[in-house]
Chain A
């Protein structure tokens, strides 16, 4: 009895349920369809068994009856099988209220609801429509679709009612039909041909007529606080002024032609008469109005969505601006810091230069003093001894305080006097036998030797001090070297050592180990890199707080790079803070700008970045390592400039 090509699958309509309702459903559907087999099953499992056949039948329609208990559960059970998941679902029910369909409705799995009892043929009509929709969606080329027609032979899915029918027509057709109806009642209406820019309704003015737009475009504008806004153009609709009738007969918009238009003018009275005499006109008018309203509503909804999107974009923009502002402020702080550094650098270079002369004088004076005192001593009867005391005090490295006390104590038995023991040690006499001989020979000699040794120690201290100043001056000068083009042949170890010398006051009590490898000379801005070393060293020292160990390791990881690692065994950086340490941070206090750890690291990172290198920081308690990798070839922009 099936009417189908061999290639087309068998179609099944499954009725889920039992009892008289299911029986009636089956009866009516079987009477209706020749090419859809109707089967009755008690539940979803039975249904699955029925359809899982070798010829793979398809199921366009499932009818669930209220005898199944929970509709949601029945639909859920069915939907677990692919073959049912695409079926249309109709519910036939004798219940007054259903509270078991929320899931099905939510998932759009309830397509039709028929109440028991139904007018004979009504269920079949629903089934026909649903199967037709299913076929159109899933098997658009199936020839059986054509068999699905209304009892009157109309194609399916054409509404019966005038209103719904009109709504499905093209807008122009409705307008034309409406005009025809109007002209049947009122006689031919003159067309008004208007150029672009003519206002055909006026905002807030009374509306006494509607205009039927037959050709051309009309825009709806409204004057607002922020100026004239064009709210509708494509969404205007063919009748202008009709909606004002719902707005106390005042125009909400100014309607303005945007092209040449043909319109038909109808006063309210004329419209009223036409509506009275042609009832179909009402449906047409309603259809046109609903359609216009729907379009305007969609336009309004679209505007709402756009507004939300715009707001979001605006928020993002605002956020970006805020970030940009912060970055700018930070950049300004960095510039201030750099300017200050540059000024200090120039100042330091100047001072370093000026210090050279006094230091040279100091150093020379120390050696002249030693020579002259030597000559003076030569004239003294015990001069030779004194000269030895002077020289040994001058050349001997300073003794520790504990050692000195020990020496004194060793002499106390000989002298029997603590002060005399001290003077002997100061005079360079530490051997008890020698002390005994000396005291036996001439006790007054101790004073001479003490004085000579004092002079020797003073000269040594002078020389040490001036050498230290000389070292500091030269470090300061190379550190404060003004920026310019990068320099060639820079030995990074010099910069590291200079920095160590200049930050010595921050490194007191900290053991600094230098594990220097073989480094090639490289092209760079040494003064800038010194800032980096300073920053990393001072950070490490600060975290150690007066005791601990810093290890500086230098190496050449590959042919093109050098690597400098500064490791400390301090408490480490808070893991929450670690990712943000390179962000510039600053605080202003009493009008002066103070820089914390952050800004310094930010600057350090930028300097390394500008060199085409990489600065990374890894930290755990007891092990914090700053690692700088630099290209031997020099900064990238400089490389480009040279090539």
Chain B
């Protein structure tokens, strides 16, 4: 089982850039991209079919026909996606959108465009770690994409037991 990160972004250059900035995690985790909400659900289906686990969603706010916030809200209603960490990557969400994302979609992080690649990777690493800790997953297979220090604490505690 692999942890999967889903990138939802409709503009190809931006999508490419996000995917490429997360390339160092490849190998440790599965990275999927989708250009719209329909495709995002298709990806969710594939991840599930492969017995992988959707751990993190990075969604743009402005999307064709909908908003990223709406998609994040939808995620809460599906067993396959409810547990995923949610990050909004946007340059345009106004205050009302953001408030709704936090209150209704349980938004975990907000990354403003243009992003700093190191910061983005730190956010992803951190959110994946949170996911692993929260759901008491075995961190070892995903270690390369996790926050080693925090996971070590967990491993040591577990070892003690």
Distance to closest chain B CB from A88 (angstroms): 82
Cα distance A401–B30 in the bound complex, in angstroms? 15
| Size category, B interface | 20 to 34
Contact B20 A419 (CB under 8 A): no
* Residue of B whose beta carbon sits closest to that of A463: B13
Query: For the complex, is A600 an interface residue (Cβ under 8 Å from B)?
Result: no
Given A401-B34, A419-B26, A505-B92, also A465-B13 (CB < 8 A): yes
Q: Contact check: which of B26, B30, B33, B66 meets A546 at CB < 8 Å?
A: B66
Distance to closest chain B CB from A460 (angstroms): 8
Contact B33 A401 (CB under 8 A): yes
Distance to closest chain B CB from A247 (angstroms): 75
Contact B17 A461 (CB under 8 A): yes
Given A402-B39, A454-B20, also A509-B66 (CB < 8 A): yes
B117: chain A residues at CB < 8 Å are: none
Contact A509 B12 (CB under 8 A): no
Query: For the complex, is B48 an interface residue (Cβ under 8 Å from A)?
Result: no
Given A398-B12, A401-B15, A461-B17, also A508-B64 (CB < 8 A): yes
Query: For the complex, is B137 an interface residue (Cβ under 8 Å from A)?
Result: no
* Residue of A whose beta carbon sits closest to that of B70: A546
Q: Contact check: which of B15, B35, B63, B92 meets A509 at CB < 8 Å?
A: B63
Cα distance A401–B46 in the bound complex, in angstroms? 13
Distance to closest chain B CB from A538 (angstroms): 14
Query: For the complex, is A405 an interface residue (Cβ under 8 Å from B)?
Result: yes
Chain B 1-55 interface residues, beta-carbon cutoff 8 Å to A = 12-13, 15-17, 20, 26-27, 30, 32-35, 39, 42-43, 46
For A419, A457, A458, A508, the residue with the greatest tally of chain B CB atoms inside 10 Å of its CB is: A508
Contact A546 B16 (CB under 8 A): no
Given A402-B42, A457-B16, A505-B92, also A547-B34 (CB < 8 A): no
Contact B92 A546 (CB under 8 A): no
Contact A419 B27 (CB under 8 A): yes
Query: For the complex, is A513 an interface residue (Cβ under 8 Å from B)?
Result: no
A405: chain B residues at CB < 8 Å are: 32, 43, 46
| Size category, A interface | 10 to 19
Per-position 1/0 for B62-73, Cβ under 8 A of A: 111111000000
Per-position 1/0 for A399-417, Cβ under 8 A of B: 0111011000000000000
Query: For the complex, is A464 an interface residue (Cβ under 8 Å from B)?
Result: yes
* Residue of A whose beta carbon sits closest to that of B35: A401
Chain A 364-411 interface residues, beta-carbon cutoff 8 Å to B = 398, 400-402, 404-405
Distance to closest chain A CB from B30 (angstroms): 8
* Residue of B whose beta carbon sits closest to that of A454: B20
Distance to closest chain A CB from B54 (angstroms): 15
Distance to closest chain B CB from A68 (angstroms): 82
Chain A 456-485 interface residues, beta-carbon cutoff 8 Å to B = 457-458, 461, 464-465
Per-position 1/0 for A422-461, Cβ under 8 A of B: 0000000000000000000000000000000010011001
Contact A461 B13 (CB under 8 A): yes
New A-B contacts (4) at CB < 8 Å, excluding given A404-B33, A509-B62:
A401-B39, A405-B32, A461-B13, A508-B62
Can you give 16 A-B contacts (C-beta < 8 A)? A398-B12, A401-B34, A402-B42, A404-B33, A405-B32, A419-B26, A454-B20, A458-B16, A464-B13, A505-B62, A508-B63, A508-B64, A509-B62, A509-B66, A546-B65, A546-B66
5 cross-chain pairs, A with B, having the tightest CB-CB distances, nearest first: A398-B12, A461-B13, A509-B65, A547-B65, A401-B35
The chain B residues found within 8 Å of chain A, CB to CB, are 12-13, 15-17, 20, 26-27, 30, 32-35, 39, 42-43, 46, 62-67, 92
